Amino acid sequence: MNWTYIIETFLLTLRGVPVTLLIAVVSIALSIGPAILLALGRIHKVKGVTTFSVIYLAFIRATPPILLILFFYSLLPSLLNRLLTAVNSSINIFNLSPLYYAFIIFGLLTTGSLSEVFRSALSTVSQQQLEAGQSVGLTNYQTYRRIIFPQALVAALPNLSNLTISLVKGTSLVFVMTIKDITAIAKVQAAHGYQYFESYLVIFVVYLLLCGGVQGLFYLLSKRLNYQSARKEQQHAKSPKYLQTILSAGDSQQR
CA torsion, ordered 88, 78, 103, 164, to nearest 10 deg = 160
CB-CB contact of 109 with 168 (8 Å): no
Q: Would the pLDDT of 249 be above 50?
A: no
Residue 243 pLDDT level (bands cut at 50, 70, 90): very low
State phi, psi for 91 to the nearest 5 degrees.
-70, 130
If you average pLDDT over residues 200-223, what whole number do you get?
A: 92
Q: Would the pLDDT of 165 be above 90?
A: yes
pLDDT value of residue 35: 93
Residue 210 pLDDT level (bands cut at 50, 70, 90): very high
pLDDT value of residue 168: 94
Determine the Cα–Cα distance for residues 171 and 175; give it in Å rounded to an integer: 8
Please say whether the dihedral angle defined by the alpha carbons of residues 106, 109, 115 and 116, taken in this order, is positive or negative: negative
CB-CB contact of 9 with 202 (8 Å): yes
pLDDT value of residue 144: 85
pLDDT value of residue 217: 93
Q: Give the list of residues 6+ apart from residue 219 with CB closer than 8 angstroms, or none.
A: 161
Neighbours of 161 (CB within 10 A): 19
pLDDT value of residue 162: 94
Choice among 16-30, 76-90, 123-137 with the minimum mean pLDDT? 123-137
Mean pLDDT of the chain: 84
CATH of span 3-253: 1.10.3720.10
The larger pLDDT score, comparing residue 236 to residue 100, is at 100
CB-CB contact of 41 with 237 (8 Å): no
Determine the Cα–Cα distance for residues 129 and 146; give it in Å rounded to an integer: 11
Q: What percent of the chain has pLDDT over 70?
A: 89
Residue 238 pLDDT level (bands cut at 50, 70, 90): low
- In terms of DSSP H, where are the helices of the chain? 3-13, 17-43, 49-62, 65-70, 76-86, 98-123, 128-135, 140-143, 149-170, 182-193, 196-237, 240-254
In DSSP notation, 237-248 reads: HT-HHHHHHHHH
If you average pLDDT over residues 49-72, what whole number do you get?
A: 87
If you average pLDDT over residues 181-199, what whole number do you get?
A: 87
Choice among 20-34, 91-105, 206-220 with the minimum mean pLDDT? 91-105
